[in-house]
Structure 1
Amino acid sequence: MAGKLLYIEVGDRLVKVMCAVPQKKGLRAIKSFMFQPPEGSVFDGVIQNPEELSEALVAQLLEHRLRGVKNVVFNLASGKVASREVKLPPVKEKLLAPMIATNAADYFPIDLSRYHISHTLLEKVKGEGGFCRVLALAAPLSLLEGYFKLGEFAGLKIKAIDSSANSHYRALRPLRQTGVTMYVDVECTESFASFIQDGRLLLQRTFALGGDEFIKSYMEKVEKPEEEYIEALSELSVSAKTTVMVGAEGQMTHHERTEELSRLVSNIARSVDYFNSSRWETATSQIVLTGPCGRLEGLKEMVAAETGLPTFYLEELEEVRSVFKTIEDPSAFLGCVGAAHSPVDLLPEHFMRASRGMRLSKNETSIASGLISFSLLFLGAVVLSIIAVSSNHEVKRELSAIRSEISEIEYTQQVALSYESYQQGETALLEMRALADSPNAKLAAFFEELEQKMPSKILILSAVCSAEGVTMNITVPSYAETAVVLDQLRTFESISKLEVLSVSQSTNEGGSETSTFSVSCLYGENPYLNGENPYADLIGESTDSEGQVD
């Protein structure tokens, strides 16, 4: 089956399989289906029993007449895959991988020897101050190993392994909705939210809640066995064609639906609040539900009521039919669809070598003993005649390979220089921020002078500080002390203007007098220190051409 590929997403409750042919302008889907994995064979996307799961997969491929398709792309739907968006200098895309590898320890504080690091370019911002928005990914090697074993046991050749963080974005990117759209892929045991505006990914969030609680509660109520999970999901879902429930109407009360879906809806609402809290100028404008559990009865209405936002099913968007032309149920198979478009490199080289070695070993053992003997005799007869030529060719190939490697690593110098320049720029910005002038610096200078020049008997009752100055209420023993304090304030280097707001005098029970006054001090350079009087115009002073005061 030339040109056909299998796109498979393994989940705890459902395994999704789509057979399609990649094309220049999209994807031509041939067939898609879901089945339940054997109990206990998968947990959080980790394949714990690859041999048992492979038997179920092969049986399903045979049933759907797809056993002849050998090439496969897996899509990882697991919370164990860590992702982080980073900004890098605006370099060529081929230079991003070494930069990610160099800084991986900063992005992911984990034992990197147990993880495979990859990335995908989200956006390249051009112009002055340009940068690259990159999604860095870290997948446990133990997680990836399970998929290689599954491929081996099922007789499949792995062409790529993608992550749902990338595949969902790639699938939804062509949908250009007005404003910011929150796409919520509701799976069975988890949900995945992507905030996208005009094809640009703004934020992704995962929460460990899906439709499983609702489905399990319903199965328990109607006494359905575990192997009828997909049937129960279908009965609880609103039909994409008729917009009514398929077969469970009346089985779950409104109160029961609300109770079972409330935690999921609450997580969706909190994700909206989290996004809007830091992006109030581009807040979420609508919500689109996708995934196999996105059409659960009552979910759409509950999300709309909780968030106050227009809420739709994916199939209700006008662009869906033109974007997903041949795909029967794009909502349920969104991860499989996206894995066909620019999958990330989650293929550890040593796993690939081991996989090739295992396939080679199987082929060798299938050769008949007579053919092996004949081949050995034939090789023995011709080896002496070609050894000289082959040696010469081998030397040339090695020389060519060395030159090619030298050429390929020449760019590392440019990478190092670009990264060093980027770090220096960042350091300079941090230093400038630290040196930036602030009201606190002026306030500190003012209080230093206050401690040095004020008399010991001064009592500052209150002080109101702002970016422009300080207003204080001060008490001193007498009017004379008031004059002394005001004279001293006029000598402050940190004050440009002084204004007395009020002055009062009082006598306590012991007969002691006190003077209380309010004064406003404005930060700046003191004009008195330069021989200037800022109030000269008010008292009628003028200076003639000889510098004499009238």
Structure 2
Amino acid sequence: MDGKEVDMAVSKVISIEITDLNTKVCEISYNKKVPSVYNSICFANPEQTVEDALIEDRLRYSSELKAQLKNAGIKCKDVVFVISSNKILSREIMIPDMKEKLIESYIEGERATYFPMDISDHRLSYTVIDRNSVTKEMRIILYAAPDMVIKNYNALAAELDFHVVAMDCTGNAMYQYLSNNQASGMDMYLQINENNSLFTILENGKFALQRNMSFGACSLAEHLVDEEYYGIITPEQAMMKLAENELLYGSYSEMMEYMPATEEESKLYECKKRLTDAVRPLIAGFTRVLEYYNSKNKEATITKIYVGGCGSKIAGLAKLIMSEFEGIELEVVNVLPNVKFPKSNKLMADNSTEFMACIGGAGFSIDFSKNNAAEEKKGATAFAILAAALTILAVIVLVGVPLYNYRQAISRQEELRKSISGYQNIVDIKAQMENKESKLDDLEAFDEATITNNENWNSILEQLEIMLPTNTLVSSVSSNETGVTLVISIPTKIEAAKLLVQLRNLPIFEDVQINTLTENNDESTGIKNESFTITCVFPQKEVPIPEGGTVPADGTTQEDIDAGTGITE
């Protein structure tokens, strides 16, 4: 097992994936190549309890999860959490070939070199992709999960009296399932979930590329809820209508050519047009990923892509995507291969692809929860020593003090225990605070990125109106992020020099330069003037380095992706 030790005493687990909207649970055999799903449930999270994988209201959420498990008759206490969060970073790295037991200590020693931000408060785990016997190197997908996320899930497990077997992430869990079922031919797989889409490419069963796209099925459902065509409907009703009615055009050319003949047709056309337009972000992201992959693999030919997840059930979506990619067939996967489940489990029979992360996480998963095992072992040793010392002290107290004092001490101990239990919610409050601070940092960085030098344009024009003599002719003005260029005709060199000095005194310019002056003489009018180009340079601000964000798994930059463009958790 890559990145974790398999608990041989565990034969069955409940595998749980928590998204912002829903929770999916599988009671499933553990660490089996062909797993058996004994039971499965999916339920909507209580409102405002989960945000980007963090359980923000642990009491309400744990109560709902406990009730759902009880209603389904699921009693297993061994749990695998599959974390679905944008906070988890991933990157493909190469390290020297070494024994499995040495990998963890090696990457811990080099952790500061892998990501362009401070990850001292993250836990690392990894998956070995392959080993090169010629170069003596290993290809690894490295994952980094924030401590606050791991602690948040450990607190939830403690609340429900769960034994945490492993903590995986969605991207790796899906890769593990696809890799272990390469005989099924699903080397290129697009998973369209509620809030995002994940595109995974394998080569000979090995990881090649994985990209996360922001489009999710819920975005279409929200558009339909906002439409007036069906009246007032809930998001759940909207998803049903999207699955039962073909509300997307087969192509964008068909949408543009269609001419409604009646008022009713016009209303339906506007509804379908908005929904079809809402799919453009998915197609744009999909295009960048395919172009990037083809640029790196010029001999590769993509002919078929498999599609799953709740979005694959939207009528006409696969057809619309195919219309934009000539020669590529999209095949919707209804039932995952090599997964056993009872015929009575209709949820798995109809929606098994939606549980792919839960199924993959119960197999060869990574494990963030064991990352600090050494520290925990030291802590356990210290606790054992402390416990022994306390035992000796207790014997002395019992022998040397009256029974009354002993009872008073027991009473005081119980009071302290109750007092300590009242502070358990501090972990949740701290996690919420760190989450809000992270979002605030992102917003401030976004606001900083929107500031441009051209915001001073009105001020520049006002200053020029004051400075320029009335008989000055401005032939052209151009502006960009670096500065302003003006082509000017002015009566005399003295006035040109005066204008230069005035412009250089403006704080909005770092430098002002004039090229060679050209003297013009209009013989018909006898008017003379000086023509020249003046260049005003803005001060150059430093571009801040982002504090967070996911580095693509193959080490490419965002510029690479945008020019012709990760996973997991």
TM-score range, shorter chain: 0.5 to 0.7
For residue 104 of structure 2, what is the aligned residue in structure 1?
A: 97
Give distance in 1, aligned partners of 2:244 and 2:308. Answer: 12
2:250 is matched with which residue?
none
Matched, 1:313 2:332: yes
Equivalent residue for 1:39, pick from 40, 47, 52: 47
* 1:286 aligned residue: 304
Following superposition of structure 1 onto structure 2, how do residues 204-283 of structure 1 map, counting pairs within 5 Å? 204-221=210-227, 222=230, 229-230=235-236, 232-237=238-243, 253-283=271-301
Shift of 1:153: 2.0
Aligned to 2:17: 9
Amino acid at match of 1:338: G
1:297 aligns with 2:319: no
Letter in 1 for 2:188: M
Matched, 1:193 2:199: yes
How far does the alpha carbon of each residue in 1:196-242 deviate from its partner, in whole angstroms, 9 at most, with x for none?
Answer: 122111011112221121011223444566xx544543442369xxx
Q: Distance in 2 between matches of 1:63 and 1:121?
A: 39
Counterpart Cα distance in 2 of 1:352 and 1:88: 25
Asked if 2 retains the 8 angstrom alpha-carbon contact of 1:266 and 1:306, the reply is no
Cα separation, partners in 2 of 1:9 and 1:180, compared to 1, 3 Å: closer
Please name the residue that 1:330 is paired with. Answer: 352
CA shift for structure 1 position 179: 8.3
Contact 2:33 2:180 in 1 (8 A): no
2:55 pairs with 1:55:
no
Q: Which residue of 2 aligns with 1:340?
A: 362
Give the TM-score taking structure 2 as reference length.
Answer: 0.55
| Alignment CA distance shift 1:152-1:238 (3 Å) | farther
Tell me which amino acid in the other structure corresponds to 1:147: Y
The answer to whether the 8 A contact 1:83-1:137 is kept is yes
**How many equivalent residue pairs?**
346
Q: Secondary structure at the match of 2:108?
A: helix
Question: For the structure 1 residues 32 and 229, does the alpha-carbon distance in structure 2 shift closer, same or farther, using more than 3 Å as the test?
Answer: farther
Structure 2 contact 244–315 (Cα < 8 Å) conserved? yes
Cα distance change on mapping 1:103 and 1:272 into 2, 3 Å: same
After TM superposition, the structure 1 = structure 2 runs for residues 463-478 of structure 1, keeping only pairs within 5 Å, are none
Query: Residues 172 and 180 from structure 1, CA distance in 2 versus in 1: closer, same or farther, beyond 3 angstroms?
Result: closer
Contact 1:7 1:18 in 2 (8 A): yes
- In structure 2, do the counterparts of structure 1 residues 69 and 177 end up closer, same or farther at CA, with 3 Å as the change threshold? closer
Kindly tell me: are residues 25 and 209 of structure 1, through their superposed partners in 2, closer, same or farther at Cα, counting changes over 3 Å? closer
Question: 1:74 deviation in Å?
Answer: 0.4
How far, CA to CA, are the matches of 1:180 and 1:289 in structure 2? 9
Instruction: Tell me: higher relative CO, structure 1 or 2? Use CA pairs within 8 A at least 6 residues apart.
Output: 2
CA offset at residue 113 of structure 1?
2.4
Question: Does the CA-based 8 Å contact 1:180-1:284 persist in structure 2?
Answer: no
Alpha-carbon distance in structure 2 between the residues aligned to 1:194 and 1:352 = 35
CA distance in 2, matches of 1:22, 1:11: 22
The change in CA–CA distance for 1:350 and 1:231 in structure 2 (over 3 A counts) is: farther
Q: 2-side partners of 1:261 and 1:98: how far apart?
A: 45
CA distance in 2: counterparts of 1:108 and 1:20, whole angstroms = 35
**CA contact under 8 A between 1:45 and 1:78: conserved in structure 2?**
yes
Confirm or deny: 8 A CA contact 1:182 1:195 kept in the other structure.
Answer: yes
SS across alignment from 1:38: coil
The alpha-carbon deviation at position 111 of structure 1 amounts to: 2.4
Question: Contact 1:233 / 1:293 at 8 angstroms: preserved in 2?
Answer: no
Instruction: Provide structure 2 residue ranges, at least 5 long, that are not aligned to the other structure.
Output: 1-9, 246-267, 342-347, 384-393, 400-569
Using the alignment, how far apart are the partners of 1:162 and 1:209 within structure 2? Answer: 23
- 8 Å CA contact 1:211–1:261 kept in 2: the answer is no
SS at match of 2:92: strand
CA separation of 1:11/1:223 partners in 2, compared to 1, >3 Å: closer, same or farther?
A: farther
Partner of 1:481: none
User: Are 1:176 and 2:179 an aligned pair?
Assistant: no
Amino acid at match of 1:138: A
Q: What CA distance in whole angstroms lies between the structure 2 residues aligned with 1:324 and 1:205?
A: 25
2:88 pairs with one of 75, 81, 84: 81
| Distance in 2, Cα, partners of 1:39 & 1:149 | 20
**1:271 Cα deviation from its structure 2 partner:** 1.4
CA-to-aligned-CA distance 1:283-304 (integer Å, 9 cap, x gap): 4332111222222222111221
After superposition, what is the alpha-carbon deviation per residue over 1:303-358, rounded to whole angstroms, capped at 9, x for unaligned?
21122211111238xxx43x22335333110100110112112014379959x99x
Correspondence for 1:27 = 35
Q: Is the 1:196–1:203 contact (alpha carbons within 8 Å) kept by the matching residues of 2?
A: yes
Partner residue, 2:372: 349
| Aligned match for 1:124, one of 104, 121, 131 | 131
Map Cα deviations across residues 498-523 of structure 1 (whole Å, 9 max, x no partner).
xxxxxxxxxxxxxxxxxxxxxxxxxx
Structure 2 distance, partners of 1:287, 1:295, is 15
The Cα of 1:155 is off from its aligned counterpart by: 2.5
1:375-397 alpha-carbon deviations (Å, 9 max, x no partner)? x99xx99xxxxxxxxxxxxxxxx
Paired with 1:50 and 1:31, the residues of 2 have a C-alpha distance of: 24
1:144 aligns with 2:150: yes
Instruction: Determine helix, strand or coil for the equivalent of 1:91.
Output: coil
Q: Which amino acid aligns with 2:330?
A: T
After superposition, give the CA deviation of every residue in 1:447-500 in whole Å (9 maximum; x if it has no partner): xxxxxxxxxxxxxxxxxxxxxxxxxxxxxxxxxxxxxxxxxxxxxxxxxxxxxx
Greater Rg by CA = 1
For the residue of structure 2 that corresponds to 1:330, the secondary structure is: helix
Q: Does the CA contact (< 8 Å) of 1:179 and 1:198 recur in 2?
A: no
Corresponding residue of 1:373: none
Contact kept in structure 2, 1:125 and 1:132, CA below 8 Å: yes
Q: CA RMSD in A?
A: 3.3
Q: What is the TM-score of this pair, normalised by structure 1?
A: 0.57
Offset of residue 258 of structure 1: 0.9
Matched residue, 1:492:
none
- Work out the CA distance in 2 between the residues paired with 1:60 and 1:204: 33
Flag structure 1 segments of 5+ consecutive residues without an equivalent.
240-249, 361-375, 382-550
In the alignment, which residue of structure 1 is the partner of 2:402?
none
AA aligned opposite 2:168: D
